[in-house]
Chain A
Amino acid sequence: MEKIEELKVDNLSFSFGFKEILKNINFKLKKGEVVSIVGPSGGGKTTLLHLCAKLLTLEAGKIRNSFKSSSFAFQEARLLPWKNVIDNISLGLKAKNIKKQKADELSKNIALKFGLQIDDFEKFPKDLSGGMKQRVSFARALVLNPSLLFLDEPFSALDIGLKKELQSLLIEEINTNQLSILFITHDLMEAIKLSDEILVLKAEPVGHIVKSFKIDTPREKRDDSFVYEQTAKLLSDEYIINTFELGFK
């Protein structure tokens, strides 16, 4: 029997020195699901994501990750400046000992899919626009065909058009390959568009999850008006108002 792929976080707490960052975090991410964690900046969202991706060492609590593979797309593209587009995309493949020729071929295919041109393949990151860099960063994460993708506000610096384009590419991946995503954002509309479950992380006094919202509408049916409506509904929620400190003083 095939093992069920899931990410389960139990009672997680974390602190930098004496400063407590996260306390008693519990959630579960199943195969093919998108869970997003929303909250104001500086609330420990990125720390939580890094803990889940094993980029930080866990202190207290448990993280069980039975996903076969995972990859990470950061807020900034974080490309190696001395490598061209294709070599940047194929980095993860080469780390998995895939032959250069095969890795380059896979990288080229996914680069085209993510809207890069053949002319761009040999370019260095310095010659790419911010949006192009983020495309490369996405391609680098998805070329590995991960079953779990960690996203750390990757859309925050992009214009609306590109945001939509990359989001629909992700939705396609979710539908065809059952990609699971743990998604961090401060943008409620993004979260509503992509997620099955939205967890609200409140920063004060110590980062903890105050509420969870589930969205059952299939992703294809979430058009702009649906997203606006849901966002308006969430924004009137007492927990959201408290978490983002929206209350008028």
Chain B
Amino acid sequence: MKFLFKIIKDFPSYLWSGWGSIASIFLFFALWDFGNQLYGNLVLPNPKDTIITLFSMLSEPNTLNDIVITIKRAFFGFCISLVFGSALGLLAGLFATASMMSRPIVTILVGMPPIAWIVLAMIWFGMSDMTVIFTVVVASFPIIFVGALQGTRTLEGDLKQMADSFELPFKMKMFDLYFPHIFSYVFPAWVSALGMAWKIVVMAELLSANDGIGAALAISRSQLDTTTALALVLIMIGSLLLIEYLILEPIKREVEAWRK
């Protein structure tokens, strides 16, 4: 509760620090417009047209529906990864054998290209929600698993001994020693897994679904409608930026204020 209050209190000063980022985004728009002047509207529509298309799309119920479907899939897949990845990672971290044995499996999971998973999932589950969600889970699970695993593996013996010397009760050991340490590893893993989930969900939809942002992207490609395609990309990037900078970053700042 105290934490939440502090996050809200520091929020205005955090927003104020965002001018630099906004300037760099405008610079990006300028470059984009320059590209448009070089290559023409078919290859790279200008930012103004794209944004106008974006707003007209956002007023259509169809697009909104697609966005909701995509968010649902990404969120659902991410939540499954979050629960299982954190729990299994923590558990594996507790046992030296389990963490040793899980390493090659994690390497395989991380190394396997998501596109290969999509193909397999299409064979297994057909063109359904399941295919998309499965791909999201498979892609984001190892990131969270590794974060949780490292969190438990790197608990310092020195601090544990200190806690023992002051006879900290079990509850204090959990909340003052183990939890903050593990959280400092797991939370960044959650953030990168969320980013991963958002990217993968669109890719999976593009190949294996009839609805959602990814499918809309596939349709705009087949119609050679570059403006719509770019507007969809804007939606994806915009939502990621919003989540990242308005929600996750302020939390991260408070949670990790003690870090170097």
**Which residues does A use to contact B, with CB under 8 Å?**
50, 53, 55, 71-72, 74, 76, 78, 80-83, 91-92, 94-95, 124-126, 140, 144, 150
B56 within 8 A of A: no
Q: Please determine whether B258 and A72 come into contact, CB atoms closer than 8 angstroms.
A: no
Q: Please determine whether B169 and A95 come into contact, CB atoms closer than 8 angstroms.
A: yes
- Extra contacts, 4 of them, besides A91-B166, A140-B166 (Cβ < 8 A), are A71-B165, A78-B158, A82-B180, A95-B168
Report the minimum CB–CB distance from A239 to chain B (whole Å).
31
Interface string of B111-127 (1 = CB under 8 A from A): 00000000000000000
Q: Please determine whether B257 and A78 come into contact, CB atoms closer than 8 angstroms.
A: no
Interface string of B219-259 (1 = CB under 8 A from A): 00000000000000000000000000000000000000111
Complexed CA–CA distance, A50 and B172 (Å):
22
Collect the chain B residues with CB atoms within 8 Å of residue A95's CB. 166-169, 172
Report the minimum CB–CB distance from B66 to chain A (whole Å).
42
B53 within 8 A of A: no
B49 within 8 A of A: no
Q: Please determine whether B165 and A126 come into contact, CB atoms closer than 8 angstroms.
A: no
Question: Given A71-B166, A95-B169 in contact, is the A81-B258 Cβ separation under 8 Å?
Answer: yes
Complexed CA–CA distance, A50 and B162 (Å):
11
Q: Please determine whether A126 and B159 come into contact, CB atoms closer than 8 angstroms.
A: no
Which of B159, B169, B259 has a CB less than 8 Å from the CB of A80?
Answer: B159
Q: Please determine whether A72 and B177 come into contact, CB atoms closer than 8 angstroms.
A: no
**Which residues does B use to contact A, with CB under 8 Å?**
158-159, 161-162, 164-169, 172, 176-177, 180-181, 184, 257-260
Complexed CA–CA distance, A76 and B159 (Å):
10
Q: How many A-B residue pairs have CB under 8 A?
A: 51
Q: Please determine whether B165 and A91 come into contact, CB atoms closer than 8 angstroms.
A: no
24 contacts between A and B (CB under 8 A): A53-B165, A71-B165, A71-B166, A72-B162, A72-B165, A72-B166, A74-B158, A74-B161, A74-B165, A78-B158, A78-B161, A80-B177, A80-B180, A81-B258, A81-B259, A82-B180, A82-B184, A91-B166, A91-B168, A94-B172, A95-B166, A95-B169, A126-B260, A144-B166
Collect the chain B residues with CB atoms within 8 Å of residue A74's CB. 158, 161-162, 165
Q: Please determine whether B162 and A78 come into contact, CB atoms closer than 8 angstroms.
A: yes
Collect the chain B residues with CB atoms within 8 Å of residue A125's CB. 258
Collect the chain B residues with CB atoms within 8 Å of residue A91's CB. 166, 168, 176
Collect the chain A residues with CB atoms within 8 Å of residue B180's CB. 80, 82
Q: Please determine whether A124 and B258 come into contact, CB atoms closer than 8 angstroms.
A: yes
Collect the chain A residues with CB atoms within 8 Å of residue B167's CB. 92, 95
Instruction: Kindly report which residue of chain A lies nearest to residue B260, judged by CB atoms.
Output: A126
Q: Please determine whether B258 and A126 come into contact, CB atoms closer than 8 angstroms.
A: yes
Q: Please determine whether B258 and A76 come into contact, CB atoms closer than 8 angstroms.
A: no
Q: Please determine whether B159 and A78 come into contact, CB atoms closer than 8 angstroms.
A: yes
Report the minimum CB–CB distance from B165 to chain A (whole Å).
4
Question: Given A81-B258, A95-B168 in contact, is the A76-B158 Cβ separation under 8 Å?
Answer: yes
Report the minimum CB–CB distance from B44 to chain A (whole Å).
46
Interface centre among B177, B257, B258 (most CB of A within 10 A): B258
Report the minimum CB–CB distance from A107 to chain B (whole Å).
13
Complexed CA–CA distance, A83 and B258 (Å):
7
Instruction: Kindly report which residue of chain B lies nearest to residue A84, judged by CB atoms.
Output: B258
Instruction: Kindly report which residue of chain A lies nearest to residue B183, judged by CB atoms.
Output: A82
Instruction: Kindly report which residue of chain A lies nearest to residue B180, judged by CB atoms.
Output: A82
Instruction: Kindly report which residue of chain A lies nearest to residue B159, judged by CB atoms.
Output: A78
Report the minimum CB–CB distance from B198 to chain A (whole Å).
29
Q: Please determine whether A82 and B166 come into contact, CB atoms closer than 8 angstroms.
A: no
Collect the chain B residues with CB atoms within 8 Å of residue A144's CB. 166
Q: Please determine whether A126 and B166 come into contact, CB atoms closer than 8 angstroms.
A: no
Collect the chain A residues with CB atoms within 8 Å of residue B164's CB. 55
